[in-house]
């Protein structure tokens, strides 16, 4: 190699080694991306990019703030330029194009569900069920996210529970709709891989995980509005009846073992004093039919959590 063949991006050391110097960002990152960062820096404007790494590079190396498509459409919607339907359409299309991560919430789920209900009413059809939800282009896209192993189980459960509570608050909503909405997310979340090392299949693990979701749902109903508990419990029982329609044992294990056990565990983990924990343990099953309440109380007594002081 002759000296004249060496590009300006290299320098020769005293030992005769050719060392490549740091390249300008517009050469290091092609396709106009590097130039976009430099232009944003020059014009003192934020960088529009859906690549988290590019936005971080722009901020860390050039002090250029950035935003993504999700940030943009959320701002457009909150400022009244977009309706929730417009935002939902775009988010669903991004999910279908394999964007990671596309956040959604109960508002987007309710938007899709309301359209399906309105369509059923207009066509004089029966209310949509889980099958219709999954077949719908946008509703199905959102629901299938609950079973995507990329996402954290707890995060998806919180989205589902927030959605279910919003449905319980709709006085004019057909209660069968809530049952249908409970089914797929709870089942899908129960199949998500856990972070722990699996050394074997735990007996009734899926029933336990469904019970965890529903137990957390009941606790959140209590914290939000105790009057929602009877409707929540009724919907949970109906949903479990559908999931375990051919296995009464699993049905009972989920309802009367897994759910109360997880209620105790989750309440025990709360950062509140023991008396407040006791109030929750007493009041949650008090909203159930007497036969179910007694079953819960017997489980609670058998578990003997520290805060009960029995």
**pLDDT tens-place string over residues 42-72:** 899 999 999 888 898 889 888 999 999 999 9
Residues 6+ positions from 292 with CB-CB distance below 8 Å? 233, 255, 256, 285
The whole-number average pLDDT for the span 129-135 is 95
Q: Whole-angstrom Cα distance, residue 70 to residue 91?
A: 8
CB 73 within 8 A of CB 82: yes
The pLDDT of residue 2 is above 50: no
pLDDT band at 16 (very low <50, low <70, confident <90, very high): low
Contact 260/300 with Cβ under 8 angstroms? yes
Residues 176-199 pLDDT 10s: 999 999 999 999 999 887 644 444
Q: Where are the domains of the chain?
A: 23-67, 148-194+204-310
Cα separation of 193 and 152, whole Å? Answer: 9
> Could you tell me where the DSSP H helices lie in the chain?
25-28, 33-43, 52-62, 69-78, 84-96, 106-122, 130-135, 137-144, 153-168, 175-190, 205-224, 229-243, 248-253, 259-268, 274-286, 290-303
pLDDT of residue 4 exceeding 80: no
More confident site: 163 or 149: 163
State the pTM of this model: 0.85
Give residue-wise pLDDT tens across range 65-117. Answer: 999 999 999 999 999 999 999 999 999 999 999 988 899 999 999 999 999 99
């Amino acid at each position: 190699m002759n000296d004249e063949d060496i590009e300006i991006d290299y320098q020769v050391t005293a030992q005769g080694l050719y060392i490549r110097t740091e390249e300008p960002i517009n050469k290091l990152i092609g396709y106009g991306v590097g130039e976009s960062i430099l232009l944003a820096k020059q014009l003192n404007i934020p960088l529009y990019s859906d690549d988290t790494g590019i936005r971080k590079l722009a901020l860390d190396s050039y002090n250029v703030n950035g935003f993504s498509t999700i940030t943009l459409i959320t701002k457009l919607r909150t400022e009244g330029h977009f309706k929730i339907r417009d935002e939902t359409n775009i988010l669903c299309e991004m999910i279908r194009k394999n964007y990671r991560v596309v956040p959604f919430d109960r508002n987007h789920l309710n938007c899709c569900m309301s359209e399906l209900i309105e369509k059923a009413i207009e066509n004089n059809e029966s209310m949509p069920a889980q099958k219709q939800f999954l077949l719908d282009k946008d509703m199905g896209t959102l629901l299938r996210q609950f079973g995507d192993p990329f996402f954290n189980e707890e995060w998806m459960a919180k989205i589902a529970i927030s959605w279910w509570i919003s449905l319980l608050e709709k006085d004019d909503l057909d209660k069968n709709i809530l049952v249908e909405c409970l089914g797929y997310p709870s089942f899908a979340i129960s199949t998500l891989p856990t972070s722990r090392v699996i050394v074997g299949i735990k007996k009734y693990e899926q029933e336990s995980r469904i019970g965890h979701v529903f137990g957390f749902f009941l606790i959140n109903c209590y914290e939000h509005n105790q009057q929602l508990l009877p409707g929540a419990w009724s919907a949970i029982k109906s949903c479990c009846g559908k999931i375990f329609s051919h296995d009464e044992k699993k049905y009972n294990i989920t309802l009367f073992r897994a759910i109360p056990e997880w209620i105790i565990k989750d309440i025990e983990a709360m950062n509140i004093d023991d008396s407040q924990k006791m109030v929750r343990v007493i009041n949650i099953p008090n909203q159930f039919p007497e036969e179910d309440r007694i079953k819960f109380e017997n489980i609670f007594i058998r578990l003997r959590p520290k805060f009960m002081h029995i």
